[in-house]
Amino acid sequence: MKKSQSNSVKNQREIPVTILTGFLGAGKTTLLNHILTNQEGLKSAVLVNEFGEIGIDNDLIVKTEDDIVELTNGCICCTINGELLEAIQTILDKNKDIEYLIVETTGLADPLPVAMTINSAREQLRLDSIITLVDAENFNDDTLFSQIARSQIIYGDIILINKCDLVTKEKLSSIELIISGIKNNPRILRTVRGEAPLPLLLSVGLFQSDLIAKNQPSHDHDHEHEHEHEHEHEHGHEGSSIEGYTSFSFKSKLPFSLRKFQNFLDNQLPDTIYRAKGLLWFEESELTHIFHLSGKRFTMDDTQKHRKKENKVVLIGKNINQKKLNDQLNECIFYETEKS
């Protein structure tokens, strides 16, 4: 029998919640792993939300014996009708010892509806803060034109300017100046790989519900995000559109050829792809590789644990030619007949 929303998160002590938000590729999962790896004696649970048909982040998150990961695909703003609270209730039912909740949103999520949902259960949950990551390397005019990216900054209690090692001090100063023009008196931290001291991030009590109340009427969740948020889920070939961004997902049980995939990245990947992530398996390697692409930069790291051998990757961008991308990635597959 389905629990009513009024009973959601019932009979639990007040549990602090931190929302991690930030635009595509800003480093949210890396920050999350930093928190989970370095927390001591804190039993936390994680809700991860993704934009795309294939769940990737669930495979990329550090798991310790106390951590529970709930993966909900799609845009998190669609969960404000009680689904988010039901997911939290499920987590708390599984483990009565949970002391802290962390919600990682998709890079295309406005944190306001998420914050309002958490705040609606404030008898049981306490929204501690919204942490917004900003990608220093890829921060540009396109980011500033995005209503979602601006909302992430406006509602961020803490702004982490991340990837500071990839830009000049002059650009960092410029970014801080721009952020200060969007949000009054922002709390800004500069980080590399999201590595800020945890006492500055957790249990800080910075969330201000009166700010949400003040901004809600004019915001009213009826901006460009709402108008362009058309659901067209068709198993990876058509994703939801948010501010013109769509996702493309690809899976294969056969390995890629490293040479072919490198050629795809160097010569075929469209400029309109802003973000990609996945788990890759190459014929030339016994290992599975974690793949991240943000802007023009990509990394491919060996995993330290055994994973199922398969390829799965999500690409996010604008004006994506789904069929062409699908054909190009299929061309990257290594076939037995290619062996000499």
The domain limits of the chain are 12-221, 244-338
**pLDDT of residue 276 exceeding 50:** yes
Categorize the per-residue pLDDT at 121 as very low, low, confident or very high, splitting at 50, 70 and 90: confident
CB 67 within 8 A of CB 230: no
Local structure of residue 336 (DSSP, 8 states): G
| CATH topology match: 12-221 vs 244-338 | no
CATH 3.10.180.10 for the 12-221 domain, yes or no: no
**pLDDT of residue 127 exceeding 70:** yes
Question: Residue for token digits 């705040």?
Answer: 119
End-to-end distance of the chain based on CA atoms, in angstroms?
Answer: 60
Question: Residue for token digits 């501690």?
Answer: 128
Categorize the per-residue pLDDT at 29 as very low, low, confident or very high, splitting at 50, 70 and 90: confident
Mean pLDDT in residue range 87-101? 85
Residue 171: predicted pLDDT: 95
Inter-CA distances, 26 with 108, 134, 289, Å = 11, 6, 20
Residue 332: predicted pLDDT: 94
| Residues 191-202: tens digit of each pLDDT | 999 999 999 999
Q: 219: closest CA among 85, 117, 105, 113? A: 113
Categorize the per-residue pLDDT at 43 as very low, low, confident or very high, splitting at 50, 70 and 90: confident
Inter-CA distances, 317 with 51, 203, 291, 322, Å = 11, 35, 16, 11
**Interior CA angle at 27 toward 151 and 251, to 5°?**
105
**Interior CA angle at 167 toward 163 and 170, to 5°?**
125
Q: Which of the following CATH numbers is that of domain 244-338: 3.40.50.2300, 3.50.50.60, 3.30.1220.10, 3.40.50.970?
A: 3.30.1220.10
Residue 238: predicted pLDDT: 43
| Residues 215-261: tens digit of each pLDDT | 553 333 333 333 333 333 333 334 567 888 888 999 999 999 999 99
Q: How far is the C-alpha of 57 from the C-alpha of 69, rounded, in Å?
A: 10
CB 242 within 8 A of CB 51: yes
CB 238 within 8 A of CB 322: yes
CB 124 within 8 A of CB 15: yes
